[in-house]
Chain A
Amino acid sequence: MAETADLIVVGGGIIGCSVVHHLAQLLDRSTRILLLDRGPVAGATSGSCMGHLMVTPDDAQEYAFTARSVQLWRELNERQGGFDYNPTGALYLADDPTDVELFAVLQQQFAEHGDRADLLDPRQLRELEPGLAHDLPGALFYAGDGVVLPMLACGAMLREAQRLNQHVVVRPHCAVTGIDRDGDRIRGVRTEQGVIAAPIVVNATGVWSPELAAMAGQPRLPIHPRAGNLVITGHHVSPIRTQLLEVGYIRFAHSAAKVDPTRTDDAGGHAVNMQPQTNGGCLIGSTRQFRGMDRELNRELLHRSLLRAQRYAPGLADAPIVRTWVGLRPYSIDKHPLIGPWPLLRGLWIATGHEGLGITLAPITGRLLAQQIAGQPTDIDHTPYLPARFVQ
């Protein structure tokens, strides 16, 4: 007899783990929840990304979305821990006059949501971070941001889920090879290890989500991989204690991309994002480039981003570099994630498309999706993220 489950979540990255985590919290304790991944849990994008928890104040919806998620992170740390949660806050930096003007804009945005960020003059900046270059014109400090280690956070979410509900099963290294349908309703999945029947399947496969949608005979999802080069130093050499973000990063990472994600001639760009690690190391990003699924290191971009990081933290020049690698962010063409039911196939749900904010937004994403599946009211307005917006 074929194996059965009540829900199957495909994709063991931070989003899939969070979906499982919140399903286990919101649904009956006898619900059989199965997590599948063709690789390890946290083996793909969530095992090769930065770990920023970043409140973005662009507008009320965006602020509520990110701030609520960062709060959920804080709560998970208090209950479970074990994922190097570090409430470092964030320093927004700039070195050119145009970008410096953005400090005030950003500060005003935080204030509009009843939150606050503080302008630091060069002397205050040096007191907070003596390892930074001394010619910087100041900075904006926001205390609410933090850093986590995403791979360990995936484990923490699943362990709590399994403690709440003993019918949560995690099956890594088990690839989904097909999706079975009954007309317009989902029936289950086929895997390397056999057929599993389930009335609900969640597609949380990030940059691979179009592939899984295609298995279900659905139109192409508007998700494209956006590559990032990352660098990590050895332990105990980090010149910083606070997470650093070049203020231009916001414009660069979250404003309208000028590049067509389906083209392969994107030269890519970079803006500094540096994160202190709890072991005293420093994680350095961040570049962005559309070039398909290619994960080969781009030495030119790596070179530029390291040079830029050294401009802000000159001591980095002597830091031992342990590893560099490339991760693929799931970029959605309208810059907003897809969280909710897929309207063309009953039982198929989607949670993906967070690009560079997947770690920040994982808890709220899992919660919004689980609340919709459970038929409960959502923490915040979930309608801007409904995948239906891409269906005519």
Chain B
Amino acid sequence: MSGNVLDADVGIVGAGPGGMAAAAALAAAGLRVVVLDEAPRAGGQIFRQLPEGAHAHLAEPPSHDAGHVLLTAFAQSRVQLVSGATVWDVRPGRLWFEHDGASKLLRCQRIVLAPGAYDRCIPFPGWTLPGVLTAGALQVMVRGFGVVPGQRALVVGSGPLLLPTVTALLAAGVKVVAALEASSRWRALRALPAVLGNGTRAREAFWYARQLLRAGVRLQWGWTVFGCEGDGRVQRATIGKVDANGRPRRDTARTIDVDVVGAGFGLVPSIELGLRLGCRAQWNAVRGGHCLVVDGEQRTSVAGVFVAGEIAGIGGSAVAIAEGELAAAAILREVKGTAVPSAVVQRVQRERRAADAMLAAFAPLPGLHELAQPDTIVCRCEDVPLARAQAAAALHGDSLRAIKVGCRAGMGPCQARICGPSLQALACGQHYRAMDLPVVQVPLKVVRSATIVDAPTG
């Protein structure tokens, strides 16, 4: 049994930029650090590495330079990384996870949560067809595995992440037939001062502009996908213009032939671990929805629990790295009494300000919820069409819980991560007030029954 129990000073969930930055800094100061991560290799979604042995030089934006520095520092540190670990329960000082078919426990004095984020999905007709993926999925496919997604791609959605999706597809030799940003050019211009005022972000923007220009791909502002069709796999997509609120203008619809579609309507913070621990969360539409609340040093409302990166609100890799370093400094202050450098605090504040200003221009457009038709599946796990979710809201109530019990939406294995963020707005329509905080239940991700039965105690 003891082989299934690990001990550490600090347990970190997530080997993305936030988790790696915190881990490397803590290990350098002599603390025993164990990092649990679900992917095969370190890097997170943003700095995904190809499998060991794979060789390729895919064009990368300037922000990835920091990723390489971090990956090297992380690899050279004494951090113990457990890849392929699925964390299914957490209590202060205890992380239970499934790894290699075994049920394991990490005991630690402090926890840093850096689980990242996932794509916000907005249902549209045909989005369940094979070949329609999230924007993040396509980036993982290309940058994480070197696999070519298809031959003719459509990229749709809203926000800064459409650009890396397009460039990943280009790096894989895929023809990008159309790249559609739902926000209008004028709305997006609001992000310009934030981008130009931050050197790294400005260079990043120019790099993407050059890549698109070179490939002859033009970002179409105020456009999105109206639906997808195909026989067992996506073959055609209907696209068209949306108004300033994101409502589809059906008269502008036209059809294009594609065999892969990447959809990314922003990101949703992965806060489940924090909620299970009882950490306080609050709504922040610009940062992607419900985010964990932190003090000035990345502490949550629960003693011994720190966070870094998207879990405290979407901000990107620069924010995550800065917050990972700040979380480490805050822990070292508690453990060793060393001061938290003010430069580290200021860097977090600066990066957060820049990220907030940029994301404000891409906050979710409510009209995009009109893409779904009555028979469009909104909950993919339980196969719930929009009409049934609306009927549930009308009878059972307009809360998230009411919609769930009224039609089973959100009760499947994704535990509402996919449908949850848009379910209330879709089901309640005009009567939608505010998103309820989701209720988390054990296991936080699906695990085998034997994993729960065999869970180490102590």
Contact = CB atoms under 8 A, between A and B. Distances in A.
Physical contact A–B (CB less than 8 Å): yes
Interface in B401-455: 401-402, 405-408, 411-413, 415, 441-443, 446-453, 455
A41 B442 contact: no
Given A43-B402, A306-B453, A317-B453, A172 B448 contact: no
B156 interface: no
A149 B392 CA distance: 14
B398 A321 contact: no
Interface string B74-112: 000000000000000100000000000000000000000
Interface string A300-330: 0011001101100000111111111100000
Nearest to B407: A152
B395 interface: yes
Contacts of B455: 299, 303
A324 B446 CA distance: 10
Interface in A288-307: 297, 299, 302-303, 306-307
B399 interface: yes
Contacts, number: 117
Contact of A317 (B398, B408, B448): B448
A154 B446 CA distance: 28
A29 interface: no
A76 B332 CA distance: 64
A222 interface: no
A333 B392 CA distance: 35
A11 B255 CA distance: 51
Contact of A158 (B89, B395, B408, B413): B395
B448 A41 contact: no
Interface in A196-221: none
A41 B395 contact: yes
A302 B96 CA distance: 15
Contacts of A155: 392, 395-396, 406
B397 A321 contact: no
A389 interface: no
A40 B453 contact: no
Interface residues of B, number: 30
Residue in B443, B448, B449 with the greatest tally of chain A CB atoms within 10 Å: B449
B441 A234 contact: no
B402 A317 contact: no
Given A297-B442, A324-B443, A319 B405 contact: no
Nearest to A317: B450
A156 B397 CA distance: 15
Contacts of B453: 303, 306-307, 310, 317
A19 B382 CA distance: 30
Contacts of B413: 234, 320, 322
Contacts of A81: none
Nearest to A315: B449
B406 A42 contact: yes
Contacts of B441: 297, 323-325
Contacts of B396: 40-43, 151, 154-155, 172
Contacts of A322: 411-413, 415, 443, 446
A173 to B, nearest CB: 5
B449 A41 contact: no
A233 B411 contact: no
A39 B406 contact: no
B448 A151 contact: no
Contacts of B452: 231, 302-303, 306, 321, 324
A234 B443 CA distance: 12
Nearest to A284: B449
Contacts of A42: 396, 405-406
A316 B449 contact: yes
Given A319-B449, A320-B448, A321-B447, A173 B405 contact: no
A43 B401 contact: yes
Interface in A335-369: none
B405 A43 contact: yes
A233 to B, nearest CB: 7
Contact of B402 (A172, A279, A297, A320): A172
Contacts of B408: 149, 151-152
Given A306-B453, A310-B453, A317-B450, A41 B402 contact: yes
Contact of A41 (B406, B443, B447): B406
A322 to B, nearest CB: 5
A159 B406 CA distance: 12
Interface in A1-60: 37, 39-43, 47
A313 B18 CA distance: 43
Contact of B397 (A159, A173, A309, A323): A173
A170 interface: yes
A321 B401 contact: no
A307 B451 CA distance: 11
B415 A318 contact: no
Contacts of A172: 396-397, 399, 402
A40 B412 contact: no
A354 to B, nearest CB: 19
Given A155-B392, A234-B413, A324-B443, A40 B402 contact: yes
Contacts of B397: 37, 39-41, 43, 172-173
Given A303-B452, A306-B452, A323 B447 contact: no
Contacts of A318: 448-450
Nearest to B412: A322
Interface centre among B382, B398, B412 (most CB of A within 10 A): B412
Contacts of A235: 412
Interface string B48-87: 0000000000000000000000000000000000000000
Contacts of B443: 321-324
Contacts of A324: 441-443, 452
A149 to B, nearest CB: 8
Nearest to B394: A170
A247 to B, nearest CB: 23
A321 B406 contact: no
Interface in A253-299: 279, 297, 299
Interface string A144-185: 000001011011001100000000001011000000000000
4 nearest A-B residue pairs (beta carbon): A40-B402, A172-B397, A40-B397, A47-B405
12 contacts: A37-B397, A149-B408, A151-B396, A154-B396, A170-B395, A172-B399, A173-B402, A303-B455, A307-B453, A310-B450, A317-B448, A321-B447
Interface of B: 89, 382, 392, 395-399, 401-402, 405-408, 411-413, 415, 441-443, 446-453, 455
Given A41-B396, A303-B453, 11 more contacts: A39-B399, A42-B405, A235-B412, A297-B441, A303-B455, A306-B452, A319-B449, A320-B446, A321-B443, A322-B443, A325-B441
Interface of A: 37, 39-43, 47, 149, 151-152, 154-155, 158-159, 170, 172-173, 231, 233-235, 279, 297, 299, 302-303, 306-307, 309-310, 316-325
